[in-house]
Amino acid sequence: MASYNVTELTDAVNATSTIPPLEDYQLMNVIFRCIDINGGIAGNSYCIAGCIGMASTSNDQCAM
């Protein structure tokens, strides 16, 4: 499991046109997806109401 720093998470969000620029504390409300086998990531969606964990940490989803 890869560990990402704030800069890497911010870069992933900024490269995703459907997510607006976010403050550092808002990165915890983003669901990310893998984009390559080298650990590259992109923001998948910003969860306005926050994220909820499922049975495993690899299957989080947005709270409704």
Based on the structure, what is the number of domains in the chain? Answer: 1
Looking at residue 59, its pLDDT comes to 62
With cut-offs at 50, 70 and 90, classify the pLDDT of residue 2.
low
Judge whether 22 lies within some domain: yes
Judge whether 21 lies within some domain: yes
Count of beta carbons in the 10 Å neighbourhood of residue 39: 12
Judge whether 47 lies within some domain: yes
Judge whether 45 lies within some domain: yes
What are the pLDDT digits (tens) for 7-47?
Answer: 999 999 998 888 888 999 999 899 998 898 988 999 999 99
* Rounded CA separation 31/41 (Å): 10
Judge whether 1 lies within some domain: no
What is the domain extent for residue 23? Answer: 6-62
Q: Tell whether pTM > 0.85.
A: no
Looking at residue 57, its pLDDT comes to 58
